[in-house]
Amino acid sequence: MMVEVPVRIAQPQRNALHLALRSPSFVAGLVITLLIAAMALISFVWTPYDITHLVVANRMQGLSAAHPFGTDHFGRDILSMIMIGARNSIAVAIVAVVIGMGVGVPLGCWAAARGGFIDEALMRINDVVFAFPALLSALMITAIFGPGAVNAIIAIGIFNIPVFARVARAGALSIWPREYILAARAAGKGKARITAEHIVPNIASMLLVQGTIQFALGILAEAGLSYLGLGAQPPMVSWGRMLFDAQTRMAMAPHLALFPGLAIVLTVLGLNLLGDGLRDALDPRLRRRQ
């Protein structure tokens, strides 16, 4: 009898990380993201200065060995504020992504599984939510419920829902006609069960990539809302709030705006690089066949 040689096809899960680590953009993104996350974590136990301690005598200092990023108009250390601000930005963005995924993915999967009128109706509602610019809907929500970090999270989370619903629906629709789904149906499994067992694991990588992008957008949105005074309220520190405070003093002390701005740019850049790298590693069409 002839021996059949198994065809080697790169396996999705096991090789993905391996492949991703060979992509420069993924590695750069990962390093930046880990740095920011580490900074946020360290701020829980240590910051160079106590930022609730105002030393007006030291206000608006430039860069120095004692204050590498200078101080603000209350004499607070900017580096310490950026470290603590990272934690707020990350928390807001994570919770917003969780809200978006938690509501959007089930909605998208439901629409894909049911099809017909329900699909149509859900997607049109989605379009309506999508049609409002994120910042505008966030403005609306904070205008109604009042400014604050929690309302900002809710506003950004709602904006995430249609994004995840769309990605999940598109992914699920491409999985449903596969033969292994037919086989599962022939095994008497219902739509909910098939969705949980076969659809979700197979679209998880797409959702993960979208998650990193929404995370970056969430950080931007939080900064935007705080900048408008609708997000984090003093004494809570956030990068957007720092930009807002720096605005009127731009001419005198540009470093007040420079460092929070840089922190935002760097985080968003890092997350986008991470997302791109993940996408390249997980998408078999972009992966070079062996």
Partner 1 sequence: MSLLDIEGLRLAIDGTPILNGIDLTVGAGEVVGLVGESGSGKSMTALSVMRLLPPGAVATGRIGFDGVDILSAPEAAMERLHGDDIGMVFQEPMTALNPVKTIGEQVAEGIRRHTGANRRDAEDRARRMLARVGLPEERFPLTRYPHQLSGGQRQRVVIAIACALNPRLLIADEPTSALDVVVQAQILDLLRGLVAENRMGLLLISHDLGVVAEMADRITVLRQGAVVETGETAKILTELRQPYTRQLAEASLHVPARPPAAARTEETAPLLDVEGVSKDYPVRRTSLFSRPAPFRAVDDVSFSMAHGRSVALVGRSGCGKSTLARMILALEPATAGRIRLAGQEVTGRPDAELRAARRDMQVVFQDPYGSFDPRQTVERLVAEPLHLLEKQPGKAERREMVVQALAEVGLSATDMDKYPHEFSGGQRQRLSIARALITRPKLIVADEPVSALDVSIRAQILDLFADLNARLGCAYLFITHDLTVARAITDDVMVMDEGKIVERGATAKVLAQPASAAARALVAAAPDLKGAIAARRGGRLP
Out of 45, 186, 251, 252, name the contact with partner 1 by CB under 8 A: 186
Per-residue mark of binding to partner 1, 201-220 (x: CB under 8 A): xx------------------
Residue 73 · residue 245 · CB < 8 Å:
yes
Out of 18, 22, 53, 178, name the contact with partner 1 by CB under 8 A: 178
Burial class of 10 by CB neighbour count within 10 A (0 to 12, 13 to 18, 19+): middle
119 is a contact residue toward partner 1 (CB under 8 A)? no
φ/ψ of 259, rounded to 5, equals: -70, -45
Out of 45, 117, 251, 290, name the contact with partner 1 by CB under 8 A: 290
* CB of 282 vs partner 1, minimal distance in Å: 12
Residue 271 · residue 211 · CB < 8 Å:
no
- Tell me the three state secondary structure of residue 244: helix
List, as one string, the DSSP characters of 97-111: HHHHHHHHHHHHHHH
Residue 271 · residue 215 · CB < 8 Å:
yes
Candidate ranges 29-37, 122-130, 189-197, 237-245; the one touching partner 1 (CB under 8 A):
189-197
Closer to partner 1 at the Cβ: 144 or 187? Answer: 187
Using CA atoms, how far apart are residues 23 and 281, in angstroms rounded to an integer?
8
Amino acid identity for residue 194 in this structure: I
Candidate ranges 84-92, 178-186, 211-219, 254-262; the one touching partner 1 (CB under 8 A):
178-186
Using CA atoms, how far apart are residues 80 and 84, in angstroms rounded to an integer?
6
Out of 45, 56, 65, 187, name the contact with partner 1 by CB under 8 A: 187
Per-residue mark of binding to partner 1, 57-96 (x: CB under 8 A): ----------------------------------------
Candidate ranges 108-116, 174-182, 239-247, 252-260; the one touching partner 1 (CB under 8 A):
174-182
190 is a contact residue toward partner 1 (CB under 8 A)? yes
Per-residue mark of binding to partner 1, 219-248 (x: CB under 8 A): ------------------------------
Q: How many CA atoms lie within 13 A of 32 on its CB side?
A: 21
45 is a contact residue toward partner 1 (CB under 8 A)? no
* Residues in binding contact with partner 1, number by CB under 8 A: 29
Residue 81 · residue 72 · CB < 8 Å:
yes
Using CB under 8 A, which residues numbered 3 to 32 contact partner 1?
4-7, 9, 11-13
Q: Angle at CA 33, nearest 5°, toward 95 and 171?
A: 60
Binding-site ranges for partner 1 (CB under 8 A): 1-2, 4-7, 9, 11-13, 178-180, 182-190, 197-198, 201-202, 288-290
